Every structure is written in structure tokens, then in C-alpha cells.
Chains A and B, each alone.
Chain A
Amino acid sequence: MSALLALSNVTASYGPSQALFDVSLSIGEGEVVALMGRNGMGKSTTVKTICGMLPSGGEIRFKDKVIGGMPSHKVARLGVGLVPEGRRCFADLSVEENLTAAARPGAWDFAKVAELFPRLAERRNQKAASLSGGEQQMLAIGRALMTNPILVILDEATEGLAPIIRQEIWAAISHLKNSSGLSILLVDKSLKELQQVADQGVILERGRTVWSGRMADLDAETGEKYLGI
């Protein structure tokens, strides 16, 4: 099976300081991949290079097309839906407007997002700025889904949320995995939940892929070495 998204030997820099040295990973269709590593190891940078927000070296292919260097709106149009770190909803727009602004034809529409996150339906006409952190996170996920992507990237989707909200988000992610056939790239720190949802895992250390394989094969020693768990 050829991979939906494949990064091989990707490099990237912020000005003079290089952040990625050699990142390789691949995501198959319908596969859930966890991107792990401690803070500052290049997880978010990797996401940025995939989404065309940062120039990169090496090769990034999506649906067998080279997307490295493509402007980010074009990458998104090809079917990469990003749920950015820190949620970043359109503060001035209402919940429904946030979703409408992003909408593109496909199976996902307001009703389907509302089904996934009933809280959003309740807050339909409320400004995004007035939502709680968890609701904003749901809105950010909903917004990415409204673009009807093939691959969804969730960058720290459960960070800084109350445990009960995290559970809801994780439940939504596994629901997406089981019911929609979407490919998902998860950047997260909670190994326990990742092990339940993700099929494959990749660990970054100082901008390099140091481990990749099936999540089931991730042993305690590797986890401790690279993730400090």
C-alpha cells in the first residue's frame, strides 16, 4: 500500500537555527499515527512543514504529489485538515460562522459536526471567543472537518484541558477513527491515550526520527528513553 502522506529525510529551519534534521514518517489511508517526543523536539515544526507553513528540505508527498514548498492554502485544499496548536478559532465569528467559513462540499457539514460535538450545537450562535477552552478545541476540530479532509492533523488537541473534556476529545477522535476512515496524525503527550487510538507511532528526538513502528511494539525502555515516561 502506498502511503497517503510520506515524509522522507525532511529538514527545516527557523532562520539560522535548524529545527528538523532528518524526519521520516508515513501515514497510510485510514491509519492513525502518533507523533511523539518531548518538548522542543520538532513535533510542531514537522506539522508546520507538512502544512506548508515553513519551508523545508527533503521530500514531502501527499497522495503521491510533492507538497513541500506549496502554499498552505493549497495543501489544505488537497485534503489536509489542520487542527492547530492552541485551537485558534476565529474569535469574532460565532460557532456556526466559524464552521461555515471553512466549509467545503463533502460528507461533513454542520449537522454532522453537531452530532460529533453536541456542545457546539448548543452554542451555535455564540462567539468563539466566549467559548471555554474545551469547546474551542471542539470547534477547531469541527472546523478542520468542515473542509472535508482526507488527513486530519491534531496538534496538541488535548493540551491544557480539564480531564473530563480530554476524555470527550479522545472519544471523538476514536469515533472519527472507527466511523469515518479518515487518516489522522496525532501530536500529543498522553501516551496512554495514544496507545489506545493510534496504530503507528513515530518518536522525534532533536529533529530526527529515532523510532517508528506499531504502537503495540513501543516498549517501556524506548518510552522512557525518548519520552521520559
Chain B
Amino acid sequence: MTRETLFNSAALAALALVPLWAHFSGEPFTVTLATRAVILALAAVGLHIALGLGGLVSLGHAVFFGIGGYAMGILAHHAQTYTPLMEWPFVIEGTKSMPVIWLVAVVLSSVVAYFIGLLSLRTSGVYFIMITLAFGQMFFFFAISWSAYGGEDGLSIYVRNGFPGVNTLVPIQFYALCFVILAAVMFFAARLQRSPFGLALNAARQAPDRVETVGLNPMRLRLIAFVLSGAITGLAGALFADLNRFVSPTMFSWQMSGELIIFIILGGLGRLYGPVVGAVVFVALEHILGDLSDYWHIYLGVLLLGVVLFARGGIIGMLLGREVAHD
């Protein structure tokens, strides 16, 4: 366990220091790349709560990622065009303030996660995967046809939104903001994992009937996990859209949901740092292999195959041993 703590601290330190080094050696692109990795890691940490702890294989988490993205896109779009979002029964203006956008993203994702969870958690196994996928596709096609907000072309935002006291246009400052959020959410997730709720959720994954005999409703545990999970992924979506200053239906695509699952499997299922390591490795590969070939996904596929076949604890599991038994 101490080795794992050591590894985790080293990973977190590297995430803090490498971009800082890149900043001082004049490589802003690396900082942006790291920002991308950190935001995707945040989205995957969200999924980790549902998948890693709750055992809920959601192939529809792009829904929340996209909702976060569109929350940012729509609010910022109205702010930059000076048009109100709605006028009746009361006026809602757009905003360029990140905290407000985050709040909207988190609340909307939670509400949607609640209703999707309520319907899809009645099923399990492959049916759960399919029903979450179906919800993802519904949102994807809705976004494509939503011409008021760019339809298929998406929405461009000219200037990154603001956060009090931070110049978000400076890559390292925006990075620091995202890093702090990731660290805070991971701290929360680690606490959650060890709380009675987290333990019961873990137990419900292994043996739902036994959890019931101690007076806990597995369905309710899973629903709460799903909502928390969706909220975090939604927050990541808002940050991701802000990073790119662009939001499009791609954020709702099922490939996006799939990538989040890949991060977790690559890094290590059931471990909090799994999604983080997975996302960082993914972004690094995307950058390095993407330079070599447009078809870099082939190499990713080979790597994933290797991990699934030979290192079932993911990259962390390979390095530290399969501490976390997972079924």
C-alpha cells in the first residue's frame, strides 16, 4: 500500500511539475497538451465513481461531458453576442464567468444523470451498456440537429471565459486552475471511496443481495453514484469546451464515452489514479503517435489489447501488482 501511495504522489507531482517546466522552457503547447490530459482525467475520474466503484459500465458518459460542454458553449455564446438566453418569464443572460458556467454544468448533468440513472439502473450487464449508449446517441443526434447552436458545426467561443484572479488565456494559469480542480475532485473521490457509502457501493458491486440484508438499497446506492459521476464528468465537459473554445456534437459521441472507458482500463480499473494515468498516457500517445501516422489508433488498439490480456490491473497494476481485486 505504501508503494502505491508513493506512486500516486509521484504521478501527482509530475502532473504539477512537468507543465511548470514546459512553461519556463517556453513550450506552451506542452502546457496545453497537459491541460487536455488533466481535463480528460477529470472526466474519467467521474466515470470511475460509477464504473470503478459501482461496477456500472456506462457507455453514455459522453452525455454529461457534452452537457457540460454545451452549458459553457450556450452561455458564452449568448454573452458574446449580447443576446439573452431567454426573455420570458424572466430574463436569463449569457455569462463569461467560469464559476457560473461550472455550476450550471454540474446541476444540469446531475439532473440528467438522475433521470437516466432512474431508467437505466433497472437493467444490468449488457442491457445497461446498451441503454446508456442509446441515451448518448439521443443527445448526440439532438445536438446535431440543434441549429440554433451550430448544429453539426458546433459553436465557437472567441475568448476563453474568466475566473476571478486568474488570466485564463495564459496556458499555465488555465492549467493550474484545471489541476487544482482535478486534485480537489480526487480528494473528494478518495474520501468517498472510504466512506460508508463508498464501501457499501463497492460491496453492492460484488454482492447486491448481501447489501440488502444489511438494510441498504443497492439501486439507491448506484443512483447516487451515477449522479455524482455524471456531475463530475459534466464539470470536465465545461472545462474541455473552454480549453478548445469550441463545442460540437462530437463531445456527445459514443467514441467519447468509449475513450473514457479506455482511460480507466488503460490506467487500472478500480483505482482512483487509474483514470488519471490512463488519460495522460492516452493524450501522450495521441500526440506522439499522431505525429507518425493518422492511423495511430491501430497502435492504441495493440496497446489496449496487451493491457487487457497481460496486465489486467492496467498500467498501475502492471507496475504495482494487482492490489485491487476486481470482478
Contact of A103 with B by CB under 8 A? yes
Q: How many residues of A contact B (CB 8 A)?
A: 30
Contact of B203 with A by CB under 8 A? yes
Known A-B contacts A97-B199, A100-B196, A101-B199; the reply to A143 vs B206 at CB < 8 A is: no
Contact A73 B206 (CB under 8 A): no
Contacts of B217 in A (CB 8 A): 71, 73
Contact of A25 with B by CB under 8 A? no
Q: How far is the CB of B315 from chain A (nearest CB, A)?
A: 21
Contact A76 B215 (CB under 8 A): yes
Q: Interface readout for A93-133 with B: 1 if CB under 8 Å, 0 if not?
A: 10001101111100000000000000000000001010000
Give bound CA distance, A53 to B326, whole Å: 26
Give bound CA distance, A102 to B212, whole Å: 10
Give bound CA distance, A104 to B209, whole Å: 18
Contacts of B225 in A (CB 8 A): none
Which of A93, A98, A100, A104 lies in contact with B215, CB distance below 8 A? A104
Contact A53 B214 (CB under 8 A): no
Contact B214 A71 (CB under 8 A): no
Which of A71, A92, A146 lies in contact with B202, CB distance below 8 A? A92
Give bound CA distance, A101 to B212, whole Å: 12
Which of B206, B212, B216 lies in contact with A92, CB distance below 8 A? B206
Contacts of B325 in A (CB 8 A): 91-92, 127, 129
Known A-B contacts A97-B199, A101-B199, A101-B200; the reply to A71 vs B210 at CB < 8 A is: no
Give bound CA distance, A146 to B217, whole Å: 16
Q: How far is the CB of A144 from chain B (nearest CB, A)?
A: 7
Known A-B contacts A101-B196, A101-B199; the reply to A73 vs B215 at CB < 8 A is: yes
Contacts of A98 in B (CB 8 A): 199, 203
Q: How far is the CB of A35 from chain B (nearest CB, A)?
A: 17
Contact A88 B199 (CB under 8 A): no
Which of B196, B202, B213 lies in contact with A76, CB distance below 8 A? B213
Contact A101 B214 (CB under 8 A): yes
Give bound CA distance, A72 to B208, whole Å: 11
Contact of A82 with B by CB under 8 A? yes
Contacts of A71 in B (CB 8 A): 212, 217
Give bound CA distance, A93 to B53, whole Å: 12
CB pairs A–B below 8 angstroms (15 shown)? A53-B213, A71-B212, A73-B213, A74-B215, A76-B212, A76-B213, A88-B210, A90-B202, A90-B203, A91-B206, A92-B325, A97-B202, A102-B200, A102-B215, A102-B216
Q: How many residues of B contact A (CB 8 A)?
A: 20
Which of A84, A92, A93 lies in contact with B213, CB distance below 8 A? A84
Contact A101 B209 (CB under 8 A): no
Contacts of B92 in A (CB 8 A): none
Q: How far is the CB of B92 from chain A (nearest CB, A)?
A: 41
Q: Interface readout for A64-97 with B: 1 if CB under 8 Å, 0 if not?
A: 0000000111101100011010001111110001
Give bound CA distance, A71 to B202, whole Å: 21
Contact of B207 with A by CB under 8 A? yes
Contact of A147 with B by CB under 8 A? yes
Q: Interface readout for B227-252 with A: 1 if CB under 8 Å, 0 if not?
A: 00000000000000000000000000
Contact of A151 with B by CB under 8 A? no
Contacts of A91 in B (CB 8 A): 206, 325
Contact B196 A103 (CB under 8 A): yes
Give bound CA distance, A72 to B207, whole Å: 14
Contact of A51 with B by CB under 8 A? yes
8 A Cβ contacts from A141-166 to B = 143-144, 146-147
Give bound CA distance, A147 to B215, whole Å: 8
Contacts of A77 in B (CB 8 A): 215
Contact B212 A72 (CB under 8 A): yes
Q: How far is the CB of A12 from chain B (nearest CB, A)?
A: 17
Closest to B270 in A: A92
Contacts of A72 in B (CB 8 A): 209, 212-213
Give bound CA distance, A91 to B211, whole Å: 12
Contacts of B324 in A (CB 8 A): 92
Contacts of A97 in B (CB 8 A): 199, 202
Contact B207 A101 (CB under 8 A): no
Contact A101 B203 (CB under 8 A): yes
Q: How far is the CB of B192 from chain A (nearest CB, A)?
A: 13
The 7 lowest CB-CB distance pairs between A and B, nearest first, are A76-B215, A101-B199, A102-B214, A90-B203, A72-B212, A77-B215, A82-B213
8 A Cβ contacts from B236-289 to A = none
Known A-B contacts A73-B217, A90-B207, A91-B206; the reply to A100 vs B212 at CB < 8 A is: no
